[in-house]
Amino acid sequence: MPLLERLRFLAISSANLDEFYEIRVAGLQQQAAFGIPTGEPDGLSPAAILERISETAHRLVEQQYEVLNGELLPALRAAGVRLLDSDGWTASQGRWLKRYFKSQVLPVLTPVGLDPAHPFPRILNKSLTFIVSVTGRDDFGRDSGVAVVQVPRSLPRLIQLPPGEGFGPHDFVLLSSIVHAHIGEAFGGMQVTSCAAFRLTRNSDLWVDEEEADDLMRALKGELSSRNYGDAVRLEVESECTTEMGEFLLSTFELEPSVLFRVPGPVNLHRVLAIHELCQRPDLKYPPFAGRVQPRLEHERDLFLVLRRGDVLLHHPFDAFTPVVEFLRQAALDPAVLAIKQTLYRTGPDSPIVETLIEAARAGKEVTVVVELRARFDEAANISLATRLQQAGANVVYGIVGYKAHAKMLLVVRREERGLRRYVHLGTGNYHVRTAKAYTDFSLLTADRGIGNDVHKLFLQLTGLGRVGKLRSLYQAPFTLHKELLLLIDAEAASARAGRPARIVAKMNSLAEPQVIQALYRASQAGVSIDLIVRGLCCLRPGVPHVSDNIRVRSIVGRMLEHSRIFYFHNGGEPRVFCSSADWMQRNFFRRVEACFPIEEERVKERVISEGLELYLHDNTQAWSLSSDGRYRRLRPGREKPRSAQQSLLEALCGLPDTQHDADVGQDASLLLQVRAGEGVALEPIRRKEELDRELPDAQAQRGQGPGAAAAVEPGGEPQENAELERQRRA
């Protein structure tokens, strides 16, 4: 992996741990304080869980800094990218940095000396702060000896140094290093005896009594300001911080020693992400790519005509997100369009989606937007865009009290010769142009009347009152999705018990709902072959004898964040395939409004199966297999050819050359279409071989390449022999 991308992933892991403490650990600490049990199946108390979290988190943080200091920084330095520490500054570098401190930093610092007239200041959540010990007396004769210096967020945390003055073309210095080296300038006439940076993490969950709040937006606005000053949950200090000062800080913030982290480096590891953003070194980053625009969308500009001819499937980011934006833009400009309705969960700053909705409202369209104000850490942005939409004349609602509106839906109502017709976009990801370039998701654009009618009913449900009746095509949380998934799983189990082929393949972000897990266990015991691609949290244990022998779980961690949700059921040889906004978690099934939609056109269904499932089941370079002991093992190619699902898609759909594996895209295109079945020994395609052969490039067909060399990896991590040898053995 390119060096700057490794640095980026390291920064992301730190940010993820921050959020974990801000939300999950904060909630557990509250439960422990009030003696509230967790209610989880393992029966552990909140205090016991917190103890385990502390042990694991400390190991993780230790590994993070070992990777930073022992691997990445030395390798980057060898490549000409340097993060300069004060110990290694030359005289000319030191002079430049001192001038920078005096001109750019010192004027905005406000040291607070602690005494009865100057109590310990309120510390902003995750802000850079220094605790300083000094000796001597000031102009008023004070000698309290301890001061606190908060560094304003207006100052950049990483400074790229100008070439010259002894600096190289890619030299950086952390602001914390500059402050640390020159903190004495803030205490004239006194001597600094110790100085240590620290960072305090606070409870950042917002709580609003939705039943009592007359206006959810106004209530959330009132809570946002308190997010930065919630209860303290974690304390990070530099390793140079003295024991006495660490204990003083713990006492001040009323924290236990278990949440104190001493780190040999910057207290906010996420700040090194700026090196990736500022450093112009393409050779140390992933090669850029542009998502493709499908030929049928390039040749025909009228998207409504395209959709009347058939569905359009987009696999982001390999397929560009621009057709979704263009679909909305055409709807906003088309005089025949009467109404536009859309859900917005996360959109990002300066969103073209929001701008187009505003234009449509100003043009007199009936625009209705369901804005989820409670999208965590996006509350302020969503309040802002909701206000702008209201000012433009759009109807803005905030979903249902007690339920987050998490479904990704866009409905366009158009007057045509035969009457009104509905056009729909449904997705597994948000209407966020930036994340659409970094997250894998599926989008479906369709003029299907059944789906259009169902989406219309869902919007009636979200904006009005009353019962909308049974949906024909979609499954919906919190009402039908959970029940229907259980029925689909049980149907596969019944097929297996009757001796018929049975197969389940599902891809999601998280799997935690107990009833679904129990149903999968029952299906496994009945003989159903089950493959689960779960990027994150998975509470199911595969490979447990007599419980989950037929279940395999893998996680794909690669360049793009795996975000799509896909559910495949063999269904007696007539596969049923769904995409969804929902993971298999309690919150998605019971506390959110979610949409699960069928993929029915055969050509579209084949793409979802091959690109979204089969490729990922044959990944042996970026896949981690979950074992029955709860541990993940990195899969290795062994004797087989290295395969990366994401890289194969980048090659096949975006034309990006493979610089890592020298892979043959055509060969992978044929091999990815085989999936394990039965007891996990035989390799059998989900679809018929003659269907797959039609998809092979002409050049490959001329070379006589066949689909017989796919690697299959069992939970233990050892590759099987290829499919052709397996077929010969079985024969």
Query: SS3 of 262, please?
Result: strand
**pLDDT tens figures, 7-65:** 999 999 999 999 999 999 999 999 999 888 877 778 889 999 999 999 999 999 999 99
Kindly state the average pLDDT of the residues 663-682.
Answer: 35
For the packed helices 322-333 and 352-362, what is the interaxial angle rounded to 10 degrees?
A: 10
Q: Which of 441, 447, 507 is nearest to 473 (CA)?
A: 447
Residue 497 has pLDDT above 70, yes or no: yes
At residue 219, the pLDDT reads 59
**d(C-alpha 484, C-alpha 156), whole Å:** 51
**d(C-alpha 46, C-alpha 40), whole Å:** 10
Which residues 6+ apart lie within 8 Å of 395 measured at CB?
Answer: 366, 367, 368, 369, 463
pTM over 0.75: yes
Kindly state the average pLDDT of the residues 633-647.
Answer: 93
**d(C-alpha 200, C-alpha 250), whole Å:** 10
At residue 141, the pLDDT reads 73
Q: Go through the domains of the chain in sequence order and give each one's CATH number.
A: 3-284 (3.30.1840.10), 295-470 (3.30.870.10), 476-730 (3.30.870.10)
**pLDDT tens figures, 178-194:** 999 999 999 988 889 99
**pLDDT tens figures, 194-239:** 999 999 999 988 665 555 445 566 655 656 666 678 899 999 999 9
58 noted as active-site residue:
no
Q: Which structure tokens are listed for 636?
A: 């290795």
At residue 217, the pLDDT reads 61
Strands 232-238 and 260-263: parallel
* Among 547-551, 607-611, 724-728, the least confident range: 724-728
**φ, ψ (nearest 5 deg) of residue 408:** -110, 100
Among candidate residues 406, 425, 563, 618, the one labeled active-site is 406
Please report which confidence band the pLDDT of residue 421 belongs to, taking 50, 70 and 90 as the band edges.
very high
Kindly report the average pLDDT of the chain as a whole number.
87
At residue 220, the pLDDT reads 59
Q: Which of 639, 719, 705 is nearest to 669 (CA)?
A: 705
Kindly state the average pLDDT of the residues 292-313.
Answer: 93
Beta strands in 450-562 (DSSP E): 475-477, 503-508, 529-534, 551-556, 561-562
Which residues 6+ apart lie within 8 Å of 52 measured at CB?
Answer: 44
Q: How far is CA 146 from CA 116, 143, 237, 240, 723, in A?
A: 12, 8, 16, 16, 71
Beta bridge partners of 370: 343, 397
At residue 136, the pLDDT reads 86
**d(C-alpha 500, C-alpha 176), whole Å:** 65
**φ, ψ (nearest 5 deg) of residue 492:** -65, -40
Question: Of the spans 85-94, 618-627, 710-719, which averages the highest pLDDT?
Answer: 618-627
